[in-house]
Amino acid sequence: MSVDFLIETAKKIQVVINDNSSEIEKLDQEIGDGDHIFNVQRGIKLVIELEPTIKDLIMSKALNQIAMKVLSGIGGSSGALFGTLFMTMAKGNSIDEGIDYKKAIEIFAEGVEAVKQRGKADVGEKTMMDVLIPVSNCLKKGVEDDKDLKEILKEAVEVAEKGMFSTKDLLATKGRASFLGERARGHIDPGARSSQLMIKTVCESVINS
């Protein structure tokens, strides 16, 4: 995994998120305050604009710049949570010596664990964690079982989709949607949908590379 890969992937994610923006906007209007799509689109734009600043940096510094930009530039819960993800990945052990897929999975899993601590949300609370935690577990298990990378990633895409759909019938116990009680049931969580689309894009971009 290189800094170039990060930037190219951010560009692919931008296209996918833009293609699905009205759906994501509607989801946060239904159970949140409607700004989730704006926060996500702004975050992606800020990361892509970092290209000239980070393209020649070592991985830890590039990831750190991305984290700072996301933390300072995006409002809402998503800014703090995605900022934590990148900040933790930036601190990954020996990442400047090269990142193979096992290392990439290891630092992603550490990032997800940090987001879980930061937001104090676990699986079943109707948040993006219903996508991120199962995906992280699936990736780690795939490495442990010594599965083929493409198989692991295909499975992760499916796990992400399942996690995203699972939020529909859940009650929310974290975030703004928790104020709605029973009224949140029947709606997919916006953060789960945007995270699922991002995971799908990253995995498919590696599968097709």
Q: Which residues bind ligand ADP (CB under 6 A)?
A: 28, 32-33, 35-36, 39, 76-78, 81, 119-121, 127-129, 174-176, 189-192
Measured from the CB of residue 33, what is the shortest distance to Mg ion in angstroms?
4
Measured from the CB of residue 84, what is the shortest distance to ligand ADP in angstroms?
10
Measured from the CB of residue 166, what is the shortest distance to ligand ADP in angstroms?
13
CB closer to ligand ADP out of 27 and 153: 27
- Name the site residues for Mg ion (rule: CB under 5 A): 28, 32-33, 35-36, 76
Are 185 and 170 within 8 A, CB to CB?
yes
CB closer to ligand ADP out of 3 and 159: 159
Q: DSSP letters along 2-47, please?
A: -HHHHHHHHHHHHHHHHHTHHHHHHHHHHHS-S-HHHHHHHHHHHH
CB closer to Mg ion out of 97 and 120: 120
Which CA distances in Å does 68 have to 60, 111, 128? Answer: 12, 15, 21
Question: Using H for helix, E for strand and C for coil, what is the string for 30-96?
Answer: HHCCCCHHHHHHHHHHHHHHCHHHHCCCCHHHHHHHHHHHHHHHCCHHHHHHHHHHHHHHHCCCCHH
Using CA atoms, how far apart are residues 11 and 29, in angstroms rounded to an integer?
Answer: 26
Measured from the CB of residue 36, what is the shortest distance to Mg ion in angstroms?
4
Using CA atoms, how far apart are residues 105 and 164, in angstroms rounded to an integer?
Answer: 20
Q: Choose from ligand ADP, Mg ion, none: what does 70 bind? Cβ within 5-8 Å by kind.
A: none
CB closer to ligand ADP out of 119 and 142: 119
Measured from the CB of residue 169, what is the shortest distance to ligand ADP in angstroms?
15
Q: Which residue has the tokens 């010594």?
A: 146
Q: Which residues contact 137 (CB under 8 A, 6 or more apart)?
A: none
CB closer to ligand ADP out of 83 and 142: 83
Residue 174 DSSP label:
S
CB closer to ligand ADP out of 32 and 134: 32
Residue 127 DSSP label:
S
Q: Choose from Mg ion, ligand ADP, none: what does 88 bind? Cβ within 5-8 Å by kind.
A: none
Q: Choose from ligand ADP, Mg ion, none: what does 191 bind? Cβ within 5-8 Å by kind.
A: ligand ADP
Measured from the CB of residue 6, what is the shortest distance to ligand ADP in angstroms?
21
